[in-house]
Structure 1
Amino acid sequence: MDRSSEIREFLRTRRARITPEQAGLAPHPGPRRVPGLRREEVAQLAGVSVDYYVRLERGRTQGVSETVLEAIARALHLDEIERAHLFNLTQPTPARTRRKRPLAPQRVHPVLYRTLDSLSVPAVIEGRRLDVLAANKLACVLYTDFEARPRRERNFARYVFLDEAAFTLYTDWDQVAETCVARLRLYAGRHPDDPQLTELIGELSLHSDTFRSMWADHDVRAHTSGIKRLHHPLVGDLTLEYVVLAVEGDPEQSLVIYTPEPASPTAEALGILASWTTTPTTNPHTTGQPHNPAG
Protein backbone atom coordinates (compact mmCIF):
# COMPACT_ATOMS: atom_id res chain seq x y z
CA MET A 1 0.00 0.00 0.00
CA ASP A 2 1.17 3.51 -0.77
CA ARG A 3 2.07 5.26 2.48
CA SER A 4 1.52 8.77 1.08
CA SER A 5 -2.05 7.99 0.05
CA GLU A 6 -2.67 6.31 3.41
CA ILE A 7 -1.58 9.47 5.24
CA ARG A 8 -3.63 11.69 2.93
CA GLU A 9 -6.83 9.70 3.27
CA PHE A 10 -6.46 9.17 7.00
CA LEU A 11 -6.04 12.89 7.69
CA ARG A 12 -8.75 13.82 5.20
CA THR A 13 -11.30 11.49 6.77
CA ARG A 14 -10.37 12.62 10.31
CA ARG A 15 -10.86 16.32 9.55
CA ALA A 16 -14.05 15.60 7.60
CA ARG A 17 -15.79 14.37 10.74
CA ILE A 18 -15.16 17.50 12.87
CA THR A 19 -17.13 20.72 12.49
CA PRO A 20 -15.56 24.12 13.20
CA GLU A 21 -17.86 24.45 16.20
CA GLN A 22 -16.64 21.12 17.61
CA ALA A 23 -13.06 22.30 17.11
CA GLY A 24 -13.77 25.57 18.94
CA LEU A 25 -13.64 27.80 15.85
CA ALA A 26 -16.08 30.56 15.05
CA PRO A 27 -18.58 29.58 12.31
CA HIS A 28 -17.40 30.66 8.87
CA PRO A 29 -19.93 32.77 6.94
CA GLY A 30 -21.31 31.35 3.72
CA PRO A 31 -21.61 27.79 2.42
CA ARG A 32 -18.82 25.27 3.02
CA ARG A 33 -17.58 23.21 0.09
CA VAL A 34 -16.11 20.44 2.24
CA PRO A 35 -17.50 18.54 5.22
CA GLY A 36 -15.74 19.16 8.48
CA LEU A 37 -12.58 21.21 8.82
CA ARG A 38 -10.66 22.81 5.98
CA ARG A 39 -6.91 22.27 5.71
CA GLU A 40 -6.25 25.86 6.72
CA GLU A 41 -8.40 25.41 9.83
CA VAL A 42 -6.44 22.33 10.88
CA ALA A 43 -3.21 24.27 10.32
CA GLN A 44 -4.55 27.12 12.47
CA LEU A 45 -5.53 24.77 15.28
CA ALA A 46 -2.19 22.95 15.14
CA GLY A 47 -0.15 26.14 15.00
CA VAL A 48 1.61 25.39 11.70
CA SER A 49 1.54 27.08 8.31
CA VAL A 50 -1.05 26.05 5.76
CA ASP A 51 1.68 25.04 3.30
CA TYR A 52 3.31 22.84 5.93
CA TYR A 53 0.05 21.04 6.74
CA VAL A 54 -0.80 20.59 3.06
CA ARG A 55 2.60 18.99 2.45
CA LEU A 56 2.04 16.71 5.43
CA GLU A 57 -1.42 15.66 4.24
CA ARG A 58 0.11 14.84 0.86
CA GLY A 59 2.40 12.36 2.57
CA ARG A 60 5.56 14.45 2.62
CA THR A 61 6.50 13.65 6.22
CA GLN A 62 10.28 13.74 6.10
CA GLY A 63 11.55 15.64 9.11
CA VAL A 64 8.15 16.12 10.73
CA SER A 65 8.56 16.49 14.48
CA GLU A 66 6.72 14.64 17.22
CA THR A 67 5.55 18.03 18.53
CA VAL A 68 3.81 18.83 15.24
CA LEU A 69 2.19 15.40 15.08
CA GLU A 70 0.91 15.82 18.64
CA ALA A 71 -0.54 19.22 17.73
CA ILE A 72 -2.29 17.78 14.67
CA ALA A 73 -3.62 14.87 16.74
CA ARG A 74 -5.11 17.35 19.22
CA ALA A 75 -6.56 19.53 16.44
CA LEU A 76 -8.28 16.51 14.88
CA HIS A 77 -9.45 15.12 18.24
CA LEU A 78 -7.69 11.80 17.62
CA ASP A 79 -8.06 9.14 20.27
CA GLU A 80 -5.05 7.15 21.49
CA ILE A 81 -5.40 4.46 18.82
CA GLU A 82 -5.74 7.00 16.02
CA ARG A 83 -2.80 8.98 17.37
CA ALA A 84 -0.60 5.87 17.38
CA HIS A 85 -1.77 5.10 13.83
CA LEU A 86 -0.79 8.61 12.67
CA PHE A 87 2.67 8.18 14.18
CA ASN A 88 3.05 4.78 12.49
CA LEU A 89 2.04 6.18 9.11
CA THR A 90 4.50 9.05 9.31
CA GLN A 91 7.48 6.93 10.33
CA PRO A 92 10.13 6.63 7.60
CA THR A 93 10.06 3.22 5.96
CA PRO A 94 13.43 1.41 6.14
CA ALA A 95 14.71 0.43 2.71
CA ARG A 96 14.73 -3.25 3.61
CA THR A 97 10.97 -3.31 4.18
CA ARG A 98 10.31 -1.98 0.69
CA ARG A 99 11.35 -5.34 -0.75
CA LYS A 100 7.96 -6.68 0.33
CA ARG A 101 9.36 -9.92 1.64
CA PRO A 102 6.95 -12.08 3.66
CA LEU A 103 7.23 -11.70 7.42
CA ALA A 104 8.62 -14.64 9.34
CA PRO A 105 5.89 -17.23 10.03
CA GLN A 106 4.29 -17.10 13.45
CA ARG A 107 4.63 -20.16 15.66
CA VAL A 108 2.26 -21.19 18.42
CA HIS A 109 4.03 -22.34 21.57
CA PRO A 110 3.09 -25.90 22.62
CA VAL A 111 1.93 -24.69 26.03
CA LEU A 112 -0.70 -22.54 24.33
CA TYR A 113 -2.26 -25.64 22.76
CA ARG A 114 -2.51 -27.15 26.22
CA THR A 115 -3.99 -23.90 27.46
CA LEU A 116 -6.64 -23.96 24.74
CA ASP A 117 -7.57 -27.55 25.56
CA SER A 118 -7.78 -26.81 29.28
CA LEU A 119 -10.35 -24.04 28.80
CA SER A 120 -14.03 -24.92 29.07
CA VAL A 121 -14.98 -21.92 26.92
CA PRO A 122 -14.22 -20.99 23.30
CA ALA A 123 -10.72 -19.61 22.72
CA VAL A 124 -8.45 -18.87 19.78
CA ILE A 125 -4.88 -17.77 19.17
CA GLU A 126 -4.95 -14.86 16.76
CA GLY A 127 -1.99 -13.56 14.79
CA ARG A 128 -1.18 -10.99 12.14
CA ARG A 129 -3.90 -9.85 9.74
CA LEU A 130 -6.55 -11.52 11.97
CA ASP A 131 -5.12 -14.94 11.08
CA VAL A 132 -6.42 -17.78 13.27
CA LEU A 133 -3.28 -19.61 14.34
CA ALA A 134 -5.06 -22.10 16.60
CA ALA A 135 -8.52 -22.66 18.07
CA ASN A 136 -9.94 -25.09 20.58
CA LYS A 137 -12.73 -27.42 19.54
CA LEU A 138 -15.44 -25.36 21.20
CA ALA A 139 -14.37 -22.30 19.21
CA CYS A 140 -14.47 -24.35 16.01
CA VAL A 141 -17.99 -25.52 16.79
CA LEU A 142 -19.01 -21.97 17.68
CA TYR A 143 -17.58 -20.37 14.53
CA THR A 144 -16.18 -22.74 11.92
CA ASP A 145 -13.64 -25.55 11.81
CA PHE A 146 -10.60 -23.43 11.01
CA GLU A 147 -8.29 -26.47 11.06
CA ALA A 148 -10.28 -27.99 8.19
CA ARG A 149 -9.82 -24.90 6.01
CA PRO A 150 -6.86 -24.23 3.70
CA ARG A 151 -4.20 -22.30 5.60
CA ARG A 152 -4.76 -19.01 3.76
CA GLU A 153 -8.47 -19.13 4.68
CA ARG A 154 -7.85 -19.40 8.44
CA ASN A 155 -8.54 -15.74 8.89
CA PHE A 156 -11.36 -13.94 10.71
CA ALA A 157 -11.72 -11.20 8.10
CA ARG A 158 -12.12 -13.76 5.31
CA TYR A 159 -14.64 -15.61 7.46
CA VAL A 160 -16.68 -12.50 8.32
CA PHE A 161 -16.87 -11.10 4.78
CA LEU A 162 -16.74 -14.18 2.54
CA ASP A 163 -18.45 -16.99 4.46
CA GLU A 164 -22.25 -17.00 4.15
CA ALA A 165 -22.56 -18.62 7.58
CA ALA A 166 -21.04 -15.54 9.24
CA PHE A 167 -23.87 -13.29 8.05
CA THR A 168 -26.40 -15.28 10.06
CA LEU A 169 -24.11 -16.19 12.97
CA TYR A 170 -23.34 -12.60 14.03
CA THR A 171 -26.44 -10.83 15.32
CA ASP A 172 -24.66 -7.49 14.90
CA TRP A 173 -22.73 -8.38 11.73
CA ASP A 174 -22.22 -4.75 10.65
CA GLN A 175 -20.47 -3.90 13.90
CA VAL A 176 -18.30 -7.02 13.71
CA ALA A 177 -17.38 -6.20 10.11
CA GLU A 178 -16.47 -2.60 10.97
CA THR A 179 -14.25 -3.81 13.79
CA CYS A 180 -12.48 -6.28 11.47
CA VAL A 181 -11.74 -3.56 8.93
CA ALA A 182 -10.60 -1.07 11.57
CA ARG A 183 -8.24 -3.63 13.04
CA LEU A 184 -6.79 -4.42 9.61
CA ARG A 185 -6.25 -0.68 9.07
CA LEU A 186 -4.37 -0.47 12.35
CA TYR A 187 -2.20 -3.42 11.33
CA ALA A 188 -1.59 -1.86 7.91
CA GLY A 189 -0.16 1.22 9.61
CA ARG A 190 2.49 -0.97 11.24
CA HIS A 191 3.13 -3.25 8.25
CA PRO A 192 2.24 -1.36 5.06
CA ASP A 193 4.52 -3.58 2.98
CA ASP A 194 3.23 -6.96 4.15
CA PRO A 195 2.48 -8.80 0.87
CA GLN A 196 0.04 -11.17 2.58
CA LEU A 197 -1.93 -8.18 3.83
CA THR A 198 -1.99 -6.74 0.30
CA GLU A 199 -3.32 -10.06 -0.98
CA LEU A 200 -5.99 -10.19 1.74
CA ILE A 201 -7.17 -6.61 1.13
CA GLY A 202 -7.28 -7.22 -2.62
CA GLU A 203 -9.35 -10.39 -2.22
CA LEU A 204 -11.82 -8.80 0.19
CA SER A 205 -12.14 -5.68 -1.97
CA LEU A 206 -12.82 -7.79 -5.05
CA HIS A 207 -15.55 -9.89 -3.47
CA SER A 208 -17.24 -7.51 -1.00
CA ASP A 209 -18.71 -4.09 -1.76
CA THR A 210 -19.24 -3.61 1.97
CA PHE A 211 -15.57 -4.20 2.70
CA ARG A 212 -14.51 -1.68 0.04
CA SER A 213 -16.82 0.94 1.53
CA MET A 214 -15.61 0.33 5.10
CA TRP A 215 -11.95 0.24 4.03
CA ALA A 216 -12.35 3.70 2.49
CA ASP A 217 -13.43 5.10 5.88
CA HIS A 218 -9.87 4.69 7.25
CA ASP A 219 -11.13 3.97 10.76
CA VAL A 220 -8.73 2.25 13.18
CA ARG A 221 -9.53 0.29 16.30
CA ALA A 222 -7.75 -1.90 18.85
CA HIS A 223 -8.99 -5.31 19.96
CA THR A 224 -9.03 -5.60 23.75
CA SER A 225 -12.43 -6.64 25.11
CA GLY A 226 -16.11 -6.50 24.29
CA ILE A 227 -19.28 -8.50 23.71
CA LYS A 228 -20.17 -10.86 20.87
CA ARG A 229 -23.83 -11.59 20.14
CA LEU A 230 -24.39 -14.69 18.07
CA HIS A 231 -27.24 -16.81 16.77
CA HIS A 232 -25.87 -20.32 16.51
CA PRO A 233 -27.77 -22.70 14.22
CA LEU A 234 -27.68 -25.49 16.84
CA VAL A 235 -28.26 -23.74 20.19
CA GLY A 236 -29.76 -20.36 19.32
CA ASP A 237 -28.87 -16.95 20.77
CA LEU A 238 -25.59 -16.49 22.64
CA THR A 239 -24.05 -13.50 24.42
CA LEU A 240 -20.34 -13.84 25.11
CA GLU A 241 -17.87 -11.44 26.67
CA TYR A 242 -14.38 -11.64 25.21
CA VAL A 243 -10.98 -10.53 26.44
CA VAL A 244 -7.75 -10.35 24.46
CA LEU A 245 -4.53 -11.36 26.22
CA ALA A 246 -1.07 -10.67 24.82
CA VAL A 247 1.20 -13.65 24.17
CA GLU A 248 4.66 -13.17 25.62
CA GLY A 249 7.38 -13.42 23.01
CA ASP A 250 5.22 -12.32 20.08
CA PRO A 251 3.51 -8.92 20.38
CA GLU A 252 1.40 -9.68 17.30
CA GLN A 253 -0.04 -12.87 18.73
CA SER A 254 -2.89 -12.92 21.24
CA LEU A 255 -5.14 -15.31 23.13
CA VAL A 256 -8.83 -14.44 22.75
CA ILE A 257 -11.18 -16.01 25.31
CA TYR A 258 -14.99 -15.91 25.10
CA THR A 259 -16.94 -16.38 28.34
CA PRO A 260 -20.66 -16.45 29.17
CA GLU A 261 -22.36 -15.02 32.23
CA PRO A 262 -22.43 -17.79 34.88
CA ALA A 263 -25.66 -19.79 35.08
CA SER A 264 -27.03 -17.97 32.02
CA PRO A 265 -28.82 -19.46 28.99
CA THR A 266 -25.60 -18.88 27.05
CA ALA A 267 -23.61 -20.90 29.61
CA GLU A 268 -26.13 -23.73 29.30
CA ALA A 269 -25.95 -23.57 25.48
CA LEU A 270 -22.14 -23.68 25.56
CA GLY A 271 -22.36 -26.72 27.80
CA ILE A 272 -24.44 -28.45 25.15
CA LEU A 273 -21.91 -27.53 22.46
CA ALA A 274 -19.04 -28.69 24.66
CA SER A 275 -20.67 -32.11 25.10
CA TRP A 276 -20.24 -32.60 21.35
CA THR A 277 -16.52 -31.72 21.36
CA THR A 278 -14.25 -34.33 22.88
CA THR A 279 -11.24 -34.32 20.53
CA PRO A 280 -8.26 -32.26 21.78
CA THR A 281 -6.98 -29.32 19.76
CA THR A 282 -4.55 -30.46 17.06
CA ASN A 283 -1.00 -29.67 18.14
CA PRO A 284 1.48 -30.08 15.28
CA HIS A 285 4.34 -30.08 17.78
CA THR A 286 3.14 -33.44 19.08
CA THR A 287 2.13 -34.92 15.72
CA GLY A 288 5.34 -34.14 13.89
CA GLN A 289 3.58 -31.91 11.37
CA PRO A 290 4.92 -28.43 10.59
CA HIS A 291 2.75 -25.59 11.83
CA ASN A 292 2.89 -22.50 9.64
CA PRO A 293 -0.64 -21.08 9.39
CA ALA A 294 0.46 -17.53 8.63
CA GLY A 295 3.41 -18.28 6.40
Structure 2
Amino acid sequence: MDGYGYRAEGCFRNVFRSFVCVALSLLLGLHIYAYFWGPTQETLDGDFSDIKYVVMQLTRGLSEVNRKHERLQTEMERISSVLPAVAAAAGRAKEALVDPVLRMRNNRQIGDAPDYDRQLADYALESAGARVLDTGDTVEHVIYESPIGWALHMLTAWVCRECLGARAMIRPGTLPGECWAFKGSRGEATIRLLGTVRITGVSVEHIPPHISPTREISSAPRLVQVEGLENRFDPYPHDYGSFEYDRDGKPIQYFDVLFPSLKGHNILRIRVLSNWGHPVYTCVYRVRVHGDLANNPRVAVADDGDARIENE
Protein backbone atom coordinates (compact mmCIF):
# COMPACT_ATOMS: atom_id res chain seq x y z
CA MET A 1 0.00 0.00 0.00
CA ASP A 2 2.82 2.38 0.87
CA GLY A 3 4.67 1.50 -2.34
CA TYR A 4 1.59 2.12 -4.48
CA GLY A 5 1.03 5.52 -2.86
CA TYR A 6 4.64 6.56 -3.46
CA ARG A 7 4.40 5.58 -7.16
CA ALA A 8 1.13 7.50 -7.59
CA GLU A 9 2.61 10.64 -6.00
CA GLY A 10 5.72 10.44 -8.24
CA CYS A 11 3.56 10.04 -11.37
CA PHE A 12 1.45 13.05 -10.41
CA ARG A 13 4.58 15.19 -9.96
CA ASN A 14 5.89 14.21 -13.40
CA VAL A 15 2.58 15.06 -15.07
CA PHE A 16 2.46 18.46 -13.32
CA ARG A 17 6.02 19.29 -14.32
CA SER A 18 5.27 18.37 -17.94
CA PHE A 19 2.18 20.61 -17.96
CA VAL A 20 4.14 23.55 -16.53
CA CYS A 21 6.91 23.15 -19.12
CA VAL A 22 4.41 22.98 -22.02
CA ALA A 23 2.50 26.02 -20.74
CA LEU A 24 5.65 28.08 -20.32
CA SER A 25 6.88 27.07 -23.76
CA LEU A 26 3.60 28.18 -25.34
CA LEU A 27 3.62 31.48 -23.50
CA LEU A 28 7.25 32.15 -24.47
CA GLY A 29 6.53 31.34 -28.10
CA LEU A 30 3.49 33.62 -28.18
CA HIS A 31 5.53 36.43 -26.56
CA ILE A 32 8.33 36.07 -29.10
CA TYR A 33 5.85 36.03 -31.99
CA ALA A 34 4.09 39.13 -30.69
CA TYR A 35 7.38 40.93 -30.05
CA PHE A 36 8.92 40.33 -33.45
CA TRP A 37 5.95 39.90 -35.80
CA GLY A 38 3.16 41.56 -33.94
CA PRO A 39 2.18 45.25 -33.80
CA THR A 40 5.03 46.18 -31.28
CA GLN A 41 7.90 46.54 -33.82
CA GLU A 42 7.91 50.33 -33.41
CA THR A 43 8.25 49.91 -29.62
CA LEU A 44 11.26 47.62 -30.12
CA ASP A 45 12.92 50.12 -32.44
CA GLY A 46 12.37 52.87 -29.86
CA ASP A 47 13.95 50.75 -27.14
CA PHE A 48 17.00 50.08 -29.32
CA SER A 49 17.31 53.79 -30.06
CA ASP A 50 17.23 54.65 -26.36
CA ILE A 51 19.85 52.01 -25.61
CA LYS A 52 22.06 53.33 -28.40
CA TYR A 53 21.75 56.90 -27.06
CA VAL A 54 22.68 55.85 -23.53
CA VAL A 55 25.70 53.90 -24.82
CA MET A 56 26.87 56.95 -26.78
CA GLN A 57 26.54 59.18 -23.72
CA LEU A 58 28.50 56.71 -21.60
CA THR A 59 31.18 56.56 -24.28
CA ARG A 60 31.52 60.36 -24.34
CA GLY A 61 31.72 60.45 -20.52
CA LEU A 62 34.42 57.80 -20.42
CA SER A 63 36.41 59.66 -23.06
CA GLU A 64 36.23 62.88 -21.02
CA VAL A 65 37.32 61.03 -17.87
CA ASN A 66 40.27 59.55 -19.73
CA ARG A 67 41.36 62.99 -20.96
CA LYS A 68 41.17 64.45 -17.43
CA HIS A 69 43.11 61.49 -16.05
CA GLU A 70 45.85 62.02 -18.62
CA ARG A 71 46.08 65.73 -17.77
CA LEU A 72 46.22 64.96 -14.03
CA GLN A 73 48.91 62.33 -14.56
CA THR A 74 50.98 64.81 -16.59
CA GLU A 75 50.64 67.45 -13.85
CA MET A 76 51.64 64.96 -11.14
CA GLU A 77 54.73 63.96 -13.10
CA ARG A 78 55.70 67.62 -13.47
CA ILE A 79 55.25 68.25 -9.72
CA SER A 80 57.22 65.10 -8.87
CA SER A 81 60.11 66.30 -11.03
CA VAL A 82 60.12 69.69 -9.28
CA LEU A 83 59.80 68.46 -5.66
CA PRO A 84 63.46 67.33 -5.20
CA ALA A 85 64.72 70.75 -6.29
CA VAL A 86 62.27 72.51 -3.94
CA ALA A 87 63.27 70.27 -1.02
CA ALA A 88 66.96 70.91 -1.68
CA ALA A 89 66.39 74.67 -1.84
CA ALA A 90 64.41 74.58 1.42
CA GLY A 91 67.20 72.66 3.12
CA ARG A 92 69.82 75.15 1.97
CA ALA A 93 67.68 78.07 3.14
CA LYS A 94 67.17 76.44 6.53
CA GLU A 95 70.88 75.80 6.99
CA ALA A 96 71.72 79.35 5.95
CA LEU A 97 69.13 81.13 8.07
CA VAL A 98 68.89 79.00 11.21
CA ASP A 99 72.06 78.16 13.09
CA PRO A 100 71.12 75.84 15.99
CA VAL A 101 73.34 77.50 18.58
CA LEU A 102 72.32 81.05 17.64
CA ARG A 103 68.69 80.07 17.57
CA MET A 104 68.87 78.57 21.04
CA ARG A 105 70.70 81.57 22.45
CA ASN A 106 68.39 84.08 20.82
CA ASN A 107 65.46 82.26 22.35
CA ARG A 108 67.39 82.16 25.64
CA GLN A 109 66.80 78.42 25.68
CA ILE A 110 69.39 75.72 25.16
CA GLY A 111 68.12 72.18 25.02
CA ASP A 112 65.66 70.33 27.18
CA ALA A 113 65.89 70.03 30.93
CA PRO A 114 67.00 66.35 31.16
CA ASP A 115 70.14 66.85 29.01
CA TYR A 116 70.97 70.48 29.77
CA ASP A 117 73.87 69.73 32.12
CA ARG A 118 75.50 67.71 29.32
CA GLN A 119 75.57 70.71 26.98
CA LEU A 120 77.30 73.49 28.95
CA ALA A 121 79.70 73.41 31.88
CA ASP A 122 78.29 74.84 35.12
CA TYR A 123 80.95 76.58 37.24
CA ALA A 124 78.50 77.23 40.08
CA LEU A 125 77.72 73.57 40.74
CA GLU A 126 78.21 72.65 44.39
CA SER A 127 79.27 69.08 43.70
CA ALA A 128 82.09 70.47 41.48
CA GLY A 129 83.42 72.73 44.23
CA ALA A 130 81.29 75.88 44.22
CA ARG A 131 79.95 77.28 47.52
CA VAL A 132 77.35 79.75 48.74
CA LEU A 133 79.20 82.32 50.84
CA ASP A 134 76.44 84.60 52.04
CA THR A 135 72.88 85.71 51.40
CA GLY A 136 73.16 89.25 52.82
CA ASP A 137 69.96 90.48 54.41
CA THR A 138 67.76 88.00 52.56
CA VAL A 139 65.28 86.27 54.87
CA GLU A 140 64.58 82.64 54.09
CA HIS A 141 60.93 81.69 53.72
CA VAL A 142 60.14 78.72 55.97
CA ILE A 143 56.77 77.37 57.06
CA TYR A 144 57.09 76.59 60.75
CA GLU A 145 54.88 73.81 61.97
CA SER A 146 55.76 74.33 65.63
CA PRO A 147 57.63 76.78 67.92
CA ILE A 148 60.41 74.20 68.28
CA GLY A 149 60.91 74.14 64.52
CA TRP A 150 61.08 77.93 64.47
CA ALA A 151 63.69 77.95 67.27
CA LEU A 152 65.82 75.32 65.52
CA HIS A 153 65.74 77.26 62.30
CA MET A 154 66.76 80.49 64.01
CA LEU A 155 69.63 78.71 65.78
CA THR A 156 70.84 77.18 62.51
CA ALA A 157 70.65 80.51 60.71
CA TRP A 158 72.64 82.22 63.50
CA VAL A 159 75.37 79.55 63.61
CA CYS A 160 75.69 79.07 59.86
CA ARG A 161 75.46 82.31 57.89
CA GLU A 162 75.72 80.52 54.57
CA CYS A 163 71.96 79.95 54.69
CA LEU A 164 71.57 76.29 53.76
CA GLY A 165 68.43 77.08 51.79
CA ALA A 166 70.40 79.05 49.21
CA ARG A 167 72.55 76.00 48.45
CA ALA A 168 69.53 74.45 46.73
CA MET A 169 70.05 76.69 43.69
CA ILE A 170 73.53 75.27 42.97
CA ARG A 171 72.46 71.63 43.33
CA PRO A 172 71.07 69.39 40.56
CA GLY A 173 67.65 68.59 42.07
CA THR A 174 64.78 70.71 40.72
CA LEU A 175 61.64 68.92 41.88
CA PRO A 176 58.77 71.03 43.24
CA GLY A 177 59.95 72.49 46.54
CA GLU A 178 63.68 71.84 45.95
CA CYS A 179 64.49 75.53 45.66
CA TRP A 180 65.82 78.52 47.56
CA ALA A 181 62.70 80.27 48.86
CA PHE A 182 63.06 83.70 50.45
CA LYS A 183 60.52 86.21 51.69
CA GLY A 184 59.36 88.98 49.39
CA SER A 185 60.45 89.59 45.82
CA ARG A 186 64.05 90.72 46.41
CA GLY A 187 67.01 88.68 47.55
CA GLU A 188 70.67 88.00 46.88
CA ALA A 189 73.27 85.27 47.22
CA THR A 190 77.05 85.40 46.92
CA ILE A 191 78.59 82.31 45.30
CA ARG A 192 82.22 81.25 45.13
CA LEU A 193 82.76 79.52 41.79
CA LEU A 194 85.04 76.52 41.40
CA GLY A 195 87.73 78.81 39.95
CA THR A 196 88.28 82.10 38.18
CA VAL A 197 85.89 82.10 35.24
CA ARG A 198 85.58 84.42 32.27
CA ILE A 199 81.81 84.43 32.41
CA THR A 200 79.91 84.42 29.12
CA GLY A 201 76.41 83.52 30.26
CA VAL A 202 74.13 82.38 33.06
CA SER A 203 71.11 80.10 33.14
CA VAL A 204 68.10 80.40 35.42
CA GLU A 205 65.76 77.45 36.01
CA HIS A 206 62.28 77.17 37.48
CA ILE A 207 59.70 74.38 37.40
CA PRO A 208 57.05 74.57 34.64
CA PRO A 209 53.45 75.32 35.61
CA HIS A 210 52.14 71.84 34.79
CA ILE A 211 54.15 70.21 37.61
CA SER A 212 53.54 73.01 40.11
CA PRO A 213 51.02 71.98 42.81
CA THR A 214 49.22 75.31 42.31
CA ARG A 215 49.46 75.14 38.48
CA GLU A 216 51.09 78.59 38.41
CA ILE A 217 54.62 79.95 38.93
CA SER A 218 54.14 83.53 40.09
CA SER A 219 56.92 82.89 42.65
CA ALA A 220 59.48 82.53 39.82
CA PRO A 221 62.16 85.25 39.66
CA ARG A 222 61.60 87.85 36.98
CA LEU A 223 64.45 90.37 36.90
CA VAL A 224 67.87 88.95 37.86
CA GLN A 225 71.14 90.89 38.10
CA VAL A 226 74.60 89.28 38.04
CA GLU A 227 77.71 90.90 39.55
CA GLY A 228 81.33 89.77 39.63
CA LEU A 229 83.41 90.44 42.77
CA GLU A 230 87.17 90.60 43.34
CA ASN A 231 86.56 89.48 46.92
CA ARG A 232 83.61 88.87 49.12
CA PHE A 233 83.36 92.51 50.30
CA ASP A 234 84.24 94.18 46.98
CA PRO A 235 82.56 97.64 47.08
CA TYR A 236 82.75 98.05 43.29
CA PRO A 237 81.52 94.81 41.70
CA HIS A 238 81.49 94.31 37.96
CA ASP A 239 77.94 94.43 36.59
CA TYR A 240 77.39 91.65 34.04
CA GLY A 241 73.87 92.90 33.35
CA SER A 242 70.25 92.23 34.25
CA PHE A 243 68.07 89.57 32.66
CA GLU A 244 64.36 88.81 32.65
CA TYR A 245 63.22 85.24 33.17
CA ASP A 246 60.18 84.49 30.99
CA ARG A 247 57.67 82.43 32.94
CA ASP A 248 55.98 81.40 29.68
CA GLY A 249 59.24 80.08 28.22
CA LYS A 250 61.10 76.84 28.82
CA PRO A 251 62.03 75.90 32.39
CA ILE A 252 65.76 76.50 31.74
CA GLN A 253 66.59 79.83 30.09
CA TYR A 254 70.06 80.93 28.99
CA PHE A 255 71.24 84.56 29.03
CA ASP A 256 74.39 85.98 27.44
CA VAL A 257 76.06 88.48 29.75
CA LEU A 258 75.63 92.05 28.56
CA PHE A 259 78.96 93.38 29.86
CA PRO A 260 81.61 90.63 29.83
CA SER A 261 84.87 90.90 31.75
CA LEU A 262 88.13 89.62 30.25
CA LYS A 263 89.90 89.02 33.55
CA GLY A 264 87.14 86.82 34.99
CA HIS A 265 85.85 86.38 38.54
CA ASN A 266 85.70 83.59 41.07
CA ILE A 267 82.98 85.19 43.20
CA LEU A 268 79.58 86.01 41.82
CA ARG A 269 76.59 87.75 43.35
CA ILE A 270 73.11 86.88 42.14
CA ARG A 271 70.51 89.57 42.87
CA VAL A 272 66.81 88.85 42.37
CA LEU A 273 65.13 92.23 41.88
CA SER A 274 61.53 91.11 41.31
CA ASN A 275 59.30 88.07 40.82
CA TRP A 276 56.21 87.35 38.73
CA GLY A 277 53.70 88.62 41.26
CA HIS A 278 53.73 86.30 44.26
CA PRO A 279 53.07 88.51 47.31
CA VAL A 280 54.77 86.32 49.94
CA TYR A 281 57.94 84.70 48.63
CA THR A 282 60.20 84.00 45.65
CA CYS A 283 61.67 80.63 44.62
CA VAL A 284 64.99 80.17 42.79
CA TYR A 285 65.39 76.56 41.69
CA ARG A 286 68.72 76.59 39.90
CA VAL A 287 71.35 79.07 38.75
CA ARG A 288 74.14 77.99 36.41
CA VAL A 289 77.23 79.97 35.44
CA HIS A 290 78.87 79.36 32.05
CA GLY A 291 82.09 80.54 30.47
CA ASP A 292 85.77 79.60 30.28
CA LEU A 293 87.92 78.61 33.23
CA ALA A 294 90.81 81.08 33.50
CA ASN A 295 92.85 78.98 35.95
CA ASN A 296 92.88 75.62 37.65
CA PRO A 297 90.04 74.87 40.03
CA ARG A 298 90.79 76.17 43.51
CA VAL A 299 91.84 73.74 46.22
CA ALA A 300 90.11 74.91 49.38
CA VAL A 301 92.32 78.00 49.70
CA ALA A 302 90.81 80.89 51.63
CA ASP A 303 91.49 84.52 50.81
CA ASP A 304 90.32 87.93 51.93
CA GLY A 305 88.79 86.81 55.17
CA ASP A 306 86.87 83.83 53.78
CA ALA A 307 88.60 81.16 55.84
CA ARG A 308 85.65 80.47 58.03
CA ILE A 309 83.43 80.04 54.98
CA GLU A 310 85.56 77.13 53.80
CA ASN A 311 85.05 75.26 57.08
CA GLU A 312 81.65 73.84 56.28
Return the TM-score normalized by structure 2.
Answer: 0.23
Structure label with greater radius of gyration: 2
Return the TM-score normalized by structure 1.
Answer: 0.24
